[in-house]
Structure 1
Amino acid sequence: MKINLKLKDSSERLQSQLAPKEKLPFGKLRTDHMFVADYIDNEWKNAHVIPYSDFSIAPGAIVLHYAQAIFEGAKAFMHPDNEIYTFRVDKNAERLNISADCLCMPNIPVDFQIEAIHTLIDVDRLWFPLQEGASLYIRPFMFSVDDSLGVHPGAKYKFAVILSPSGPYYPDGFSKPIRLLITKKFHRATPGGTGYAKAAGNYAASLRAGEFAKKFGANQVLYLDTTNTYIEEAGAMNHYHITADGTVVIPEFTDTILKSITSLSIIELANELGLNVIQKRIKIDEFINDVKAGKIVEAGGFGTAAVISPVGEYVFEDGTSLTVGNGQIGPISKKIYEYYTGLQYGKIKDKKGWLKKVERKHA
């Protein structure tokens, strides 16, 4: 499908080759343009890069009432050759289609998704922030636009991609461990549901738990399964822990856990990192006892936005807390972070072909 361009006058475009003086926030800024396409009569049509603008949808649009919406999150990085590279966007495109299947939405060809992302980045490449630790955050998403109050899958959809010039997800970056609340009050997903999809409704359902965690000085909730037996996710991230012998342990993927591309990548990088990375179901009681006994020395979360969020302390509703290791960022978490981000920023050779250069065709 041909992508048509309807661009703003170049004189209006921000040229951010001058590095911002202050550290950029995460996800707040937008570039000049967006990509949009429509699904009508069982096919994708009207692919355009247009000026960033509001959507016009009917008050009765299915997405507004029944949350038939999915999204992805990826990143692009500036390398030492002054070219922009995306990181594993093919995996994001594949996962978007998995989410689409879960919510009875149409698939979007992977190659077309990648072309849409790269075309948009190329058009707005002058928005890339020249600042240490910065990136272009990529947000592809799809939603139903049918004007219908019946509970059924839509027949018309809009697919879009927007870009956000961003600094680190956490203002303190990788320098400060986070705290997680261990509670049995909230559950992220139920078996047989949409937990494995990156569905908008899943994140709406997580907000209350996140606000509850803040009351205890925690950044997020450590979600358990519906039986309160096994560890599942850490807020919007996959959880991990590291044992005293250096083994990295990630909860086994189920239909209630989103397959983090960061987790999958770290599993695939095990040999390069010289680490033993395994997946298994982790009982929360055993986890707590092993942290107390010093058998677990590091822990945290894996995810695209923050890459790694080390956990220094787990807190409980009764006011007690549990420190992991010495409460600071551990050497293995640091090693993973430095290797992974070094790969993303082109400081470490990409042996797996995960980075894809954004060709200069439209800028």
Structure 2
Amino acid sequence: MEIKTLNIGKLQAKIPIIQGGMGVGVSLSGLAAAVANEGGIGIISAAQVGYREPDFINNAKEANIRALRAELRKARQLSPEGIIGVNVMVATNNYDDLVKVAVEEKADVIISGAGLPSHLPKLVEGSETKIAPIVSSGKAAKIITKVWKDKYSYLPDFIVIEGPEAGGHLGFKMDELQEHTNDDLETIFKDVKEELKAFQEDGVEIPIIVAGGIYTGQDIAKFLKLGASGVQMATRFICTEECDADIEYKNAYIKCSKEDIQLIKSPVGLPGRAIRNEFIDIVSKDKIKVTKCFSCLKKCNPADTIYCISKALIESVQGNVTGGLLFTGSNGYRMDKIVTVKELINELTLELEAVN
């Protein structure tokens, strides 16, 4: 199959792959720049991006702003010509501040999920930064596109569909995830494509990117044939040399089995998928008292939350893989070695090209 360029406005990615944003600290400048240098779109996660700053514990808001700016500048130094973006969760308390930093640093794209980014067009007004909401249904795609068009006369530059096989904060109820298979991503894609027809202007289609359970070049080819403009892959990039997480974090994915991956409930009620470890066993039975709140998520109440998600994610990315939280897509168990981003991209493109 011929590899087509992913076009988002004037941006042209040689390969139709967006590396998904992974927080805390899993996808920073190192991984994003490496993907961008290979012709994909590299994404920095803004989630608690300042966790390594010396004043993070007592001044998380400013530490995150400072760190995001630094990561974007570093990524641009590492990849002067590549396409670099940021993933900012709507559920984040300082959402507007982080988006503004991304715009000021001339991020090429901003991808925003964990809620509908209803006022994102206003925050990027006057810039060349392209924006995309993450949706999990045709209904959500229709709602956010209509809001942007009616309120700001702005259509999404592209839309990311996150299916039930993804990790992180998922836009599904727990019982829905337990019944879903990856075939549902195809159904959701068709629904989104149908809903977006009403918003086409002058024959210009909104590019649709699919995510969740995309693992091989054959998976990519399947959705390109259906009419997707590209795919977003996150988990697949964890076991790369350039991934910004600790080596023990990467090894945890190499060591895990299919049975080790399970659905969990996050402190804000959104389900996710994670590798089972001692931490998961503990929080499945009891709460872990929050001794320090980082005010990271809007809907999290430290008095009654089951655990601090910031602390859990920071522990794991720094190498404490038994006492932290490791989000993963459904195929996280399939990785068996650490490779370079170049090697991974080459593998995927060869598989894609081999599809008739």
Question: TM-score interval w.r.t. the shorter chain?
Answer: under 0.3
User: Which TM-score applies when normalising by structure 1?
Assistant: 0.27
Bigger radius of gyration among the two:
1
In terms of fraction of residues, the more strand-rich structure is 1
User: Which TM-score applies when normalising by structure 2?
Assistant: 0.27
